[in-house]
Amino acid sequence: LKMNNMGVAPLWDGLMQFAKQEPASYHVPGHRHGQLYRQYIHETGLLKQGDVIDALAELARIDVTELSVTDDLHEPAGMIKEAQQKAATYFGADHTFFLVGGSTSGNLAIILSSCNVGDLIIVQRNVHKSIINGCKLAGVEVVFLSPDVEQMTGLMTVPSFSTLEAALHQYTEAKAVILTNPNYYGLSVKLEHYIELIHSYNIPVIVDEAHGAHYGLHTSLPQSALQVGADAVVQSTHKTLPALTMAAMLHIKGSRINLDRLQHNLAMLESSSPSYVLMASLDLARALMEHKGKEWIEQALQLIEELINWINKADLCIKLQQIDKSEQDLDQDPFRLLIYDSTTRMDGFELQREFEKYNIWVEMATTQYAVLVIHLSITEKDITQLKETILKITKSIEQKCYFNGHHSPSNRIHYINEATQISLPMKMERYKQYGSKKTILLDAAIGAKSAEMIVPYPPGIPILFEGETITASICEQIKVLTQLGARFQGNTTIEVGEIEVFMND
Amino acid sequence: LKMNNMGVAPLWDGLMQFAKQEPASYHVPGHRHGQLYRQYIHETGLLKQGDVIDALAELARIDVTELSVTDDLHEPAGMIKEAQQKAATYFGADHTFFLVGGSTSGNLAIILSSCNVGDLIIVQRNVHKSIINGCKLAGVEVVFLSPDVEQMTGLMTVPSFSTLEAALHQYTEAKAVILTNPNYYGLSVKLEHYIELIHSYNIPVIVDEAHGAHYGLHTSLPQSALQVGADAVVQSTHKTLPALTMAAMLHIKGSRINLDRLQHNLAMLESSSPSYVLMASLDLARALMEHKGKEWIEQALQLIEELINWINKADLCIKLQQIDKSEQDLDQDPFRLLIYDSTTRMDGFELQREFEKYNIWVEMATTQYAVLVIHLSITEKDITQLKETILKITKSIEQKCYFNGHHSPSNRIHYINEATQISLPMKMERYKQYGSKKTILLDAAIGAKSAEMIVPYPPGIPILFEGETITASICEQIKVLTQLGARFQGNTTIEVGEIEVFMND
């Protein structure tokens, strides 16, 4: 492998070289460089060369442990350190930490490293649950900011600039701001001004960029959070780049994050036997992208454009949602397609099931959209299959009676009461027993703490977290959303005007 | 693969079947069933069939994400649930949770699930750092119990029965007991009476059995913690059974652990994109052991016995440490060999380096021992290589001057002051700033909180954790150990009679 001989992938290369020397293992793991899998294959004679268990046996050659030559993720000094440095350079960070516990472990660790118990931080309300869990583990006070609405799609992005401005002005004691960008639908906000504003308060900006590991790797792609000055960025490398599932990275830029403390927290939360296969896949992903990324991105973008043009031209009931290009502050990830039925006869979940009928597996669905992640390896043949499938689904839609269709584009429900855009500070605790619960009329619940998480759908953003105080404005917001026809996630009585609250005892 | 056709490995089998249907992925991960690796191989022409990247590409076929057919680790209802149930049955648990974050994630989650902030728990002092971290995250008060000493080896096992008895009697408010068994050296204590005693207080026993995933799988092996009644057992399946590194299991038996709370905490600490490859390797490991385990264990034990007999007969300076078989309460893991130089010319670290010269990689070393993990796949050829290498190392030892040797078996230093066997309760906190530090004479430090962790070596068990109060008995213990010639880990002044403490401010 020339790439490795050039030393482009220090960890992958180092593990290969060690494997080639056919070391005799008297250490963990128990498969012994895959030997036990090979023994099974041999003894039972059940497997043919090329089977997945055979691949497992081969890959297990590099599934090693901390030895004098294999470095240590939690105290890197050799090939892991080198691989992390190469990643930092490529992604534009000062320091990069390989994560074997997914973006989850990065989000937990960075929150524990940015604030002490009782500190106040400002957090976008529509975040991944790992951010909420990190806040609970850290025992911080959180001011939640409601996200802004993209008008054409009704999808939520980050909070508006003015909301953030007001929150920072009101809570000058805030120790950090946490944003999520892009969202699950590939919509993202240009964060440069946000970050300048936050830095004017001299506190760090943490960006959960889980869905944007590919951002900034080509001029045709939106800029990455690191490129516009974020202090800490968590990326699910596995989601859009060629790393194995659960392999992610945490990038640090500048000096607002204490690296020792971060390293300590990562070592606390992540396995003390981190997977070398996952780590090597991160090194490989970076090396492959550095080597071939520009070319792959261009090829893929061309094919995506072809598909988009075809859909637009074909004038089908199936459409692609694209944001208004005049919206200067917004970006749309070209690798994420939002497909919907413009006649509203099929909702996103039905579209997803239709695709699955034809062995096409999409990323997710909402009432409105089937969301497709397009990969760097997309081919002309894939595009042809997609076109054919879209035509078949179109036929199914056309055969469908309007009466069974879902009602007017429900994703347009996005009433946010201005008074609730900035929440009251909420004390987050890992395991809080608030006492017993009762279900009461919503109107009677003002001032009480909610015993349930209230998530209207759309947009799927929690209006109330468990333990959050119910204010008059939140109450009004819930009522308006109910009138507009929003549904609520989970087994809740909120649609009939009742809510479960904690009793004061 | 017949095994799978028999449905013996539901998750591995299910993933295989899904892969065979060649699904078109428009979802994460970004390698697209390994397609991007294959594309790279094809485009560059740099790789030959059989290379590890080729294996990665094949294995990536089952590196999927949560789809309608692939179940969800955090809410298992399909093939992951089935695989976990089969594991529970095989290992003798009521419920088994697959861990993708190693035993670390299991230890953290079970501690968070067994106690609330401020609760008191009883913990063996010589535990893996993940237990200490779990206690910090949980914010509990810990009473540490010093371990007992195995007389022949000087190695520490679990606390003595009488120490545990006294601690439970003294701290009736204790909410759980945490033990580690076996230790890193393959020594284990028969826990049945311990567990009966703890259960008489109606609190759960949590056993970190990271190094004993193979325990109880054959009558020639020591009994597992589950077999003698433990409530929660964490096993590093990857360490001694054929699972990939970082794949582990948490087993629950009985009703003393709240399963909902545990599931909640696991979902908090582990990735929301758990690796299907790791999970499938757990299912495969269990299936392989169920199918072939007895046979493999017997073959391996026979070869190990041959090696032991040869070493004993050969009368070399290199010896194998074996415990006194008359010690009824102790077990020794036959799959872990403690090799030492009986002439004390080479310490364990030098033995480790000698082995490495011959491409033999051992698990770990101490001043005394090189520790070898013997695998189920061990062959006659491996034994021959080991014998030859031992003879070569023997020659190196014989050429070595006695003068350069290390002093009398230093692992025999094991003075434990009786008064320190049961520590004062210590409040564990995630991130405690105790204030500034100063270095003072040990004698003047009584009553102060240590600002450093003091770990005499041997035996490598912390006498003082950071933040722990220095008592007169601990002070005496440190002095005696220093006089006996113990060394202390890290950059400490303790050997010259000074200790760093936190100032009261």
Query: Tens of pLDDT along B369-390?
Result: 999 999 999 999 999 999 999 9
pLDDT in tens, chain A (505 residues): 344 444 589 999 999 999 999 999 999 999 999 998 988 888 877 555 557 888 899 899 999 999 989 999 999 999 999 999 999 999 999 999 999 999 999 999 999 999 999 999 999 999 999 999 999 999 999 999 999 888 888 788 999 999 999 999 999 999 999 999 999 999 999 999 999 999 999 999 999 999 999 999 999 999 999 999 999 999 999 999 999 999 999 999 999 999 999 999 999 999 999 999 999 999 999 999 999 999 999 999 999 999 999 999 999 999 999 988 787 899 999 999 999 999 999 999 999 999 999 999 999 998 889 999 999 999 999 999 999 999 999 999 999 877 655 544 455 556 677 778 999 999 998 766 657 889 999 999 999 999 888 988 766 778 899 889 999 989 988 988 888 777 887 778 898 899 999 987 5
| Candidate from A36, A270, A431 with C-beta closest to B101 | A270
Check residue B462 and give its pLDDT.
86
| Candidate from A51, A269, A363 with C-beta closest to B28 | A363
* Chain A residues within an 8 Å CB radius of B26: 355, 360-363, 372-375
Check residue B48 and give its pLDDT.
55
Q: Contact B268/A136, CB-based, under 8 Å? A: yes
* Chain B residues within an 8 Å CB radius of A1: 46-47, 51, 53
Q: Contact B62/A52, CB-based, under 8 Å? A: yes
Tell me phi and psi for residue A133, to 5 degrees: -65, -40
* Chain A residues within an 8 Å CB radius of B356: 68
Instruction: Residue A207: name the closest of A238, A230, A174, A237 by CA.
Output: A230
| Candidate from B30, B103, B433 with C-beta closest to A376 | B30
* Chain A residues within an 8 Å CB radius of B105: 101, 271
| Candidate from A19, A47, A63 with C-beta closest to B244 | A63
User: Which site among B18, B37, B44, B59 would you substitute to test the A interface, given the most A Cβ atoms closer than 10 Å to its Cβ?
Assistant: B59
CA dist A154 and A156 (Å) reads 7
Q: Which residues, in sequence order, are CB contacts of A188 under 8 Å at separation 6+?
A: A157, A181, A182, A212, A215, A222, A330, A331, A332, A333
Average pLDDT, chain B: 91
Condensed to tens digits (0 to 9), the pLDDT of residues B303-329 reads 999 999 999 999 999 999 988 878 789
Check residue A41 and give its pLDDT.
80
Using DSSP's 3-state secondary structure scheme, residue B235 falls into: strand
Q: Which residues, in sequence order, are CB contacts of A272 under 8 Å at separation 6+?
A: A74, B102, B103, B104, B128, B129, B130
CA dist B184 and B331 (Å) reads 13
Determine the Cα angle at B353 with ends B349 and B358, to 5°: 150
Cβ distance B154 to B128 under 8 Å? no
CA dist B91 and B17 (Å) reads 26
* Sign of torsion over alpha carbons A269, A273, A276, A278: negative
Give the residue on B whose Cα is nearest the Cα of A64: B245
User: Which site among A43, A59, A428 would you substitute to test the B interface, given the most B Cβ atoms closer than 10 Å to its Cβ?
Assistant: A59
Q: C-alpha distances in angstroms, A169 versus A173, A174, A203, B30, B364?
A: 10, 10, 13, 40, 55
CA dist A174 and B85 (Å) reads 46
Contacts from A41-45 at CB under 8 Å and sequence distance 24+?
A43/B292, A44/B2, A44/B3
Give the residue on A whose Cα is nearest the Cα of B100: A101
Check residue A2 and give its pLDDT.
41
Return the amino acid letter for B156: M
Check residue A158 and give its pLDDT.
95
Give the gap in angstroms from C-alpha A417 to the nearest C-alpha of chain B: 31
Residue with tokens 């079947």: B17
Give the residue on A whose Cα is nearest the Cα of B370: A26
* Sign of torsion over alpha carbons B384, B390, B393, B397: negative
Q: Which residues pair with A427 in a beta bridge?
A: A141
Measured from the Cβ of residue A85, the count of other Cβ atoms closer than 10 Å reads: 15
Is the model more confident about B380 or about B155? B380
Q: Which residues pair with A207 in a beta bridge?
A: A179, A233
Cβ distance A454 to A464 under 8 Å? yes
* Chain B residues within an 8 Å CB radius of A276: 245
Check residue B250 and give its pLDDT.
98
Q: Which residues, in sequence order, are CB contacts of A92 under 8 Å at separation 6+?
A: A216, A224, A226, A227, A251, A253
Condensed to tens digits (0 to 9), the pLDDT of residues B255-304 reads 999 999 999 999 999 999 999 999 999 999 999 999 999 999 999 999 99
* Chain B residues within an 8 Å CB radius of A373: 26-28, 30
- Inter-axis angle of helices A276-314 and A380-398, nearest 10: 60
> Where does residue B499 fall: left (phi above 0), alpha (psi -120 to 50 degrees), or beta otherwise?
beta
Cβ distance A229 to A199 under 8 Å? yes
Q: Which residues pair with A502 in a beta bridge?
A: A437
Cβ distance A98 to A73 under 8 Å? yes
ipTM for the whole predicted complex goes beyond 0.90? yes
Return the amino acid letter for A107: N
Residues in chain A: 505
* Chain A residues within an 8 Å CB radius of B213: 30
| Candidate from A27, A102, A243 with C-beta closest to B362 | A27
Q: DSSP character for A343?
A: T
User: Which site among A217, A271, A277 would you substitute to test the B interface, given the most B Cβ atoms closer than 10 Å to its Cβ?
Assistant: A271
Q: C-alpha distances in angstroms, A4 versus A14, A82, A461, B56?
A: 9, 14, 45, 16
Residues in chain B: 505
* Chain B residues within an 8 Å CB radius of A56: 55, 59, 244, 281, 284
Cβ distance B223 to B256 under 8 Å? no
Cβ distance B201 to B174 under 8 Å? yes
| Candidate from B102, B284, B285 with C-beta closest to A271 | B102
* CB pairs A-B closer than 8 Å: 319
Residue with tokens 């002044």: B493
> How far out from the chain centre does Cα A209 lie?
6
User: Which H or E run includes B438?
Assistant: strand B437-441
Q: Which residues, in sequence order, are CB contacts of B268 under 8 Å at separation 6+?
A: A133, A136, A137, B109, B112
Check residue B2 and give its pLDDT.
41
Condensed to tens digits (0 to 9), the pLDDT of residues B412-430 reads 556 677 778 999 999 998 7
* Chain B residues within an 8 Å CB radius of A114: none
Q: Contact B104/A377, CB-based, under 8 Å? A: no
Give the gap in angstroms from C-alpha A491 to the nearest C-alpha of chain B: 16
Condensed to tens digits (0 to 9), the pLDDT of residues B172-211 reads 999 999 999 999 999 999 999 999 999 999 999 999 999 9
The terminus-to-terminus CA distance of chain A in angstroms comes to: 68
pLDDT band at B6 (very low <50, low <70, confident <90, very high): very low
Q: Which residues, in sequence order, are CB contacts of B219 under 8 Å at separation 6+?
A: none
- As given in the structure block, the two tokens for residue B310 are 């040869």
Return the amino acid letter for B425: P
A422 CB-contact burial (10 Å; exposed 0-12 / middle 13-18 / buried 19+): buried
Q: Contact A35/B375, CB-based, under 8 Å? A: yes
Q: Contact A284/B56, CB-based, under 8 Å? A: yes
Give the gap in angstroms from C-alpha A131 to the nearest C-alpha of chain B: 10
* Chain A residues within an 8 Å CB radius of B269: 104, 108, 269
Condensed to tens digits (0 to 9), the pLDDT of residues B447-491 reads 999 988 898 876 677 889 988 999 998 998 898 888 877 788 777
* Chain B residues within an 8 Å CB radius of A57: 55
pLDDT band at B3 (very low <50, low <70, confident <90, very high): very low
Condensed to tens digits (0 to 9), the pLDDT of residues B102-119 reads 999 999 999 999 999 999
CA dist B455 and A460 (Å) reads 51
Q: Contact A243/B31, CB-based, under 8 Å? A: yes
CA dist B460 and A273 (Å) reads 20
Instruction: Residue A336: name the closest of A162, A196, A153, A458 by CA.
Output: A153
Q: Contact A356/B68, CB-based, under 8 Å? A: yes
Instruction: Residue A204: name the closest of A150, A258, A275, A269 by CA.
Output: A258
User: Which H or E run includes B121?
Assistant: strand B120-124
What's the pTM value of the predicted model, to 2 decimals?
0.94
Cβ distance A415 to A479 under 8 Å? no
Give the gap in angstroms from C-alpha B243 to the nearest C-alpha of chain A: 6
CA dist B384 and B380 (Å) reads 6
Q: Which residues, in sequence order, are CB contacts of B176 under 8 Å at separation 6+?
A: B111, B114, B115, B121, B122, B203, B204, B205, B206
Q: Contact B361/A23, CB-based, under 8 Å? A: yes
Cβ distance A12 to B355 under 8 Å? no
Using DSSP's 3-state secondary structure scheme, residue B381 falls into: helix
Condensed to tens digits (0 to 9), the pLDDT of residues B327-373 reads 789 999 999 999 999 999 999 999 999 999 999 999 999 888 999 99
CA dist A255 and A231 (Å) reads 8
CA dist B227 and B212 (Å) reads 12
Instruction: Residue B271: name the closest of B406, B8, B13, B73 by CA.
Output: B73
Instruction: Residue B131: name the closest of B148, B145, B112, B149 by CA.
Output: B112
